Every structure is written in structure tokens, then in C-alpha cells.
Amino acid sequence: MKRFLSREFKLALAASFAAAALLGSCAKAAKAADPLSVAVFVPGVASGNPIYEMLVAGAEKAVAETPGASIKVIEAGHDQSAWLDSLRDTVASGEFGLIVSSNPSLPELCAKLTGDYPAIRFIVADAYLPGNPAIHTVLYNQKEQGYIVGYLAALVTKARSPGAPPAAGMVVAQRYPTLDRLIIPGFEAGLRAVDPGFSLQLREVGNWYDSAKAAELAGSLYGSGVEVILPIAGGGGQGVVAAAKERGKSVVWFDGAGYSLDPVAVVGCATVAQDRLVYERLKAALGGDGSIYGRADIVSARDGYVGFDAEGAGYAALPADIRAGLEAALAGLASGSPDFSFDTF
Ligand code: RBF
């Protein structure tokens, strides 16, 4: 009797679990994701990475200005092999109608999910993927961005060591297409616009966070006579600044917030207006503008999305002729000379 009851009890329990599971999944399937519910998916960590800090700031502003909209920031961490699962979990939660992110490798991951979750929309900055009707991407012309700091690095180097064979450095986290096809060629074009004899010394950290390793690589470049380094290393860039400080050398910075790291070592910062761009695109999307999806836009210095931040103590302290030289180069770029424009990537 006891055994019979307990089996019956187990069956009843199993049946009620099954019913609950069914109801749960029906409820989830029936609940259309709220188009005003936004997830900001950060492929990495936001802190110490201006490109991600601006992503979050821009998205927060757009959501704050849109009645009924809500936002949640999800940091996917440094393990790139975990990003797809993390993105899938975010999408499958049913909590979000719109995912906003930033990273060249993201559109490909989003495209793996749009088939299973056709109602979800994606906006990805710092990326390029045309033709997927659920995804909008915007790529910055980072050839221009590289050119700006390359030009400045060259002027500073030539002024400090006029006789030496001219060389500049880069400390990068890893190789990827926008680095290889835009940032490096742009930086080299800037260096060589000042002196065609410039060589570029490039060192690779292997990740986006190891500032000790980045400091070590920068230290050896500075030790070999390099005056100026451009880090493209996320949080590792802080190690490059520390190495520059120690040796009285210089850093040119990328994306934003460069001067706050050190008022002397950081002598220039080529910017992307990622906060404004994310704000504008998300605001439009939340306002019901569906025309952005399927589109892969490219924005540039001419539209004001790539530029130079002159408001830094390290820049102000440079000799006036160097600042005048850079400002002439910036004016040239804004009027299309040199012309680094491209229509597809
Ligand atoms: N840039 C960062 O500042 N921090 C990061 O953690 C970071 N992670 C990246 C991961 C991958 C797989 C790729 C392709 C790029 C990453 N970037 C990161 C670089 C970013 O997209 C951009 O190129 C640089 O910020 C320069 O603008």
C-alpha cells in the first residue's frame, strides 16, 4: 500500500512538473519580446575600455529619453569562445526585443541566431555586415582614425630625435580584420605622410586585459629608441601608459578618454563618437524606425564620427608647430585629403 501510494505520488508529481514545464514554455513562446526592452551586450568588460564605456553611455541615454523603454547591461567577459552562448542566452531569455553591441566579430554571432529568433533586432557598432534584415551595423573609418595619430606620432618623434631613422610603435591585443586593413595601414599612412622613411614596430599582447605584459612590450620598444606608441589593447593600454611615464616617452590613444590616464604621457587621442552614434541609432530604433535594419553604414571624419580630441594637457604641452602641423592635417582630412573613403568592407 505504502509502495503504491508513493508510486502514485511520484506519477502525480511528474505530471504536474510536465504541465508546469509546458505552461512555462507556452508562456515564453506566447510572450513577444518587448521591442522597447534593450540588452547592451558588452563583448568583454566595459571598465577601462572606452569603446565599450561609450556604447553603454550612448544606449543608456537613448533609453532614458524613451518613455517605456528599459535597459540591462550584460558583460560577456574576455573568453571569446563563450560569447555565442552568452548571446544566445540573452536572446533566448525572451526578455529583450533589441540587442545593442559593439565589436567587429559580433554580427556573425548575431546572424547565427536571427533564424531561430526572427523578431529580435540587433544594432552593432564598430562592425560591418550588410544584408541581414534583423541586423544594423555601423563601421567607423578607422583608416582615418589611425592616420590622425600616426601623423601626430611622426611629428613628435621627428622633433625629439631628428637624426635617428624614424620609427613608431604599436602594442596590440590581437590581430583582426579592422586592425589589419584599416587601423595599421592608416597609422602607417600618417607616419609616412610626415616622413616616408618611417618604420612601424608592432608587438602583440595576446589578450585585451594584460597590462603587465603590455607594459613589458612597450618598455622594450621605448628602450630600443621608439618615442611614441599607439596601444590597441583594451585594458592593456594602461600598461603602455605606465611604461611611457616611467621612461619619459609618449603615447597616442584611440577611441576616447585618453588624457584621463596620464596628463603628460598621453599626447593625443583620435576619437570615434561611439556614444553619440549608439545614442542616435538606438533612439531611432526605439522610435520605430525599422529602416536601419539590413543596412551596414560606414561613418567617417567628414560626418564627424572620427576626429581628434584636442582638450588634453599632454596635447596642449606640445610645441606650437607640432599642434599647427596636426591641425593642418586634420583640416585636410575633413576636406577629403587624403581620401580614405570606401563603400564596402
Ligand atoms: N577593444 C577594446 O578596447 N577592448 C576590448 O576588450 C576589445 N575586444 C575585442 C575583441 C575582438 C574579438 C575584436 C575583433 C576587437 C576587440 N576590440 C576591443 C577592438 C575594438 O573593436 C576596436 O578595434 C578598438 O577599440 C579600436 O577602436
Residue 71: helix, strand or coil by DSSP?
Answer: strand
Nearest CA to ligand 1 atom 16: 103
Q: What is the mean pLDDT of residues 270-294?
A: 98
Q: Which of 103, 106, 110, 143 to mutate to test the pocket of ligand 1 (most atoms within 8 A of CB)?
A: 103
pLDDT on residue 164: 85
**Atom nearest to 49 CA in ligand 1:** 3
Nearest CA to ligand 1 atom 18: 234
pLDDT recorded at residue 20: 46
Has residue 251 got a pLDDT over 80?
yes
- In the reported structure, the alpha carbon of residue 178 is separated from the centroid of ligand 1 by a whole-number distance in angstroms of 10
Query: Maximum CA pair distance of the chain?
Result: 100
Look at residue 2 and tell me whether its pLDDT is greater than 70: no
- Range with the poorest average pLDDT among 12-21, 46-55, 308-317, 321-330: 12-21
**pLDDT at residue 12 is higher than 90:** no
Nearest-10 crossing angle of helices 274-286, 50-64: 30
Question: Ligand 1, residues 53, 171, 232, 274: which to mutate, most atoms within 8 A of Cβ?
Answer: 232
Distance 159 CA to ligand 1 centre (A): 31
Predicted pLDDT at 4 = 43
Calculate how far, in angstroms, residue 125's C-alpha sits from the geometric centre of ligand 1: 11
Q: Is the pLDDT of residue 78 over 80?
A: yes
Helix (H) or strand (E) holding 269: strand 266-272
CA distance 326 to 306: 15
% of the chain with per-residue pLDDT over 70:
91
Query: Which triple of cell numbers denotes residue 173?
Result: 591585443
pLDDT tens, 192-214?
999 999 999 999 999 999 999 99
By residue count, the chain amounts to: 345
Asked if 128 and 345 count as a contact pair (C-beta separation under 8 A), the reply is yes
**What does pTM read for this prediction?**
0.91
Q: Which atom of ligand 1 is nearest to the CA of 208?
A: 6
- Centroid of ligand 1 to alpha carbon of 103 (angstroms): 6
State in Å: Cα 207 to ligand 1 middle.
10
Quick one: average pLDDT of 38-49? 96
Determine which helix (DSSP H) or strand (DSSP E) holds 13, and give its type and residue range: helix 2-30
Give the 3-state secondary structure of residue 218: helix
Q: Which atom of ligand 1 is nearest to the CA of 102?
A: 21
> Ligand 1 center to residue 172 CA distance, Å?
10
pLDDT at 66 over 60: yes
* Residue located via cell numbers 553603454: 56
What sign does the CA torsion over 276, 278, 282, 284 have? positive
User: Per mean pLDDT, which range of 22-36, 113-127, 135-149 is the poorest?
Assistant: 22-36
Q: Residue 163 has which C-alpha cell?
A: 637624426
Ligand 1 atom at minimum distance from 142 CA: 27
Phi/psi class of residue 126: alpha, beta or left (left: φ > 0; alpha: ψ in -120 to 50)?
Answer: left
